[in-house]
Amino acid sequence: MNTLVKHILLGTLIAPLVAPGALAQTAMTGEQIKAAVSGKSYDFAGQYNGVMEFGADGSASLTLRIGTKRTGSWQVKGNEFCSTWQGETEQCATWTSESGGTIKTSKGFTLTPK
């Protein structure tokens, strides 16, 4: 059996043992992102920590744990969540749904519903 085939077979046998939580994650569609965000608030953690609030009208605000407040806007493009915060350029990310309504972003943030 060639080496590549052995690695593929070994990977398929070991992957579920190494990362069982990864199987529970689901990439969100644009419609799912809109439903999850519009008019909702989340605690967020990652490079920064705080609270984000998303208006149904596309407005957004965040309050960092250190007290800094910012405003911005959000929209969905395809299956990505895109936000623009004051003084910054637009950033887009894919979102993954986890149990309990928690969301992980491709930018390294975890959002937990308030």
**Residue 99: which H helix or E strand, with range?**
none
Distance between CA atoms of 113 and 52, rounded to whole angstroms?
Answer: 10
> Which segments of the chain have a pLDDT < 50?
1-23
CA 62, chain centre distance (Å): 15
Q: Write down the pLDDT at residue 93.
A: 97
Question: DSSP letter at 79?
Answer: T
Q: Write down the pLDDT at residue 24.
A: 56
What pTM value is reported for the model?
0.76
Distance between CA atoms of 95 and 80, rounded to whole angstroms?
Answer: 7
| 93: helix, strand or coil | strand
CATH fold group of domain 26-113: Lipocalin (2.40.128)
